[in-house]
Amino acid sequence: QSVLTQPPSVSAAPGQKVTISCSGSSSNIGNNYVSWYQQFPGTAPKLLIYDINNRPSGIPDRFSGSRSGTSATLGITGLQTGDEADYYCGTWDSSLSAVVFGGGTKLTVL
Amino acid sequence: QVQLQESGPGLVKPSQTLSLTCTVSDDSLSSGSYYWSWIRQPAGKGLEWIGRMYTSGSPKYNPSLKSRVTISADTSKNQFSLKLSSVTAADTAVYYCARANYDVLTGSRNAFHIWGQGTMVTVSS
């Protein structure tokens, strides 16, 4: 079982907005920076969001991140078929002294 | 843009030691601006952080693997390595090396900006 909890799947139509949640605790999300990754089949994960709400160079502003208490959220607007992928949240867990990830969410753009 | 490349045997026998190397395309391995990690992903499953190293101090390992893991670096070769002992079928996975930026001001050091392409390791006799 993953330390961080994500929904297994989400779906939305092209052009719409979707949010992916990541639930944790005060030892991880509640007090540490959160990052989000996008992974296509057979490829390495790619960083989308770091430090809760920052985008690396080259990541479009359709992708956003936020945190409220012990939960974090990835938002994607203007959905495109090319956004179909698995999405993972990650953060440091101060109790475990380890980086922890969510179980991943498969995004389907209908 | 820096590149990371994993290398090592694709097949390891049970009870033996898995050894992988990550080659960094520039000399940033000796820079204090980055943390260097190994992460793995079994087929069809999620990501698992194995451990990391920095230019100074001791490496840090996932408690679930700590007794079997060693991460070290050879900065003269721009390489860092992973050794995982006493492997079983449960260690079969794609293994990634990754680089996290270290922000001295914010303390951020756990977001993986750069990833290797990954290497598949199968544990089987």
Q: What would the pLDDT profile of B77-92 be if each residue is shown by its tens digit?
A: 999 999 999 999 999 9
Chain B residues with CB under 8 Å of A33 CB are 106, 108, 110-111
Cα B124 to chain center, whole Å? 21
Instruction: Check residue A106 and give its pLDDT.
Output: 98
Instruction: Check residue A72 and give its pLDDT.
Output: 98
Give tens-digit pLDDT for B90-103: 999 999 999 999 99
Q: What's the whole-number mean pLDDT along residues B34-54? A: 97
At B65, is the pLDDT very low, low, confident or very high (cuts 50, 70, 90)?
very high
Q: What is the dihedral of CA B47, A37, A105, A7, to 10 degrees?
A: 90
Cβ–Cβ below 8 Å for A99 and B115:
no
Residue A63 in contact with partner chain B when CB distance is under 8 A: no
For B56, list phi and psi in degrees, rounded to 5: -130, 160
Instruction: Check residue B57 and give its pLDDT.
Output: 82
Cα A62 from Cα A79, distance rounded (Å):
8
Interface test with A, best of B110, B114, B117 (most A CBs within 10 A): B110
Nearest chain B residue (CA) to A50? B111
- Give the CA count within 13 Å in the CB-facing half-sphere of B95: 28
Which parts of chain A register pLDDT below 50? none
Instruction: Check residue B55 and give its pLDDT.
Output: 84
Cβ–Cβ below 8 Å for B63 and A44:
no
Residue A45 in contact with partner chain B when CB distance is under 8 A: yes
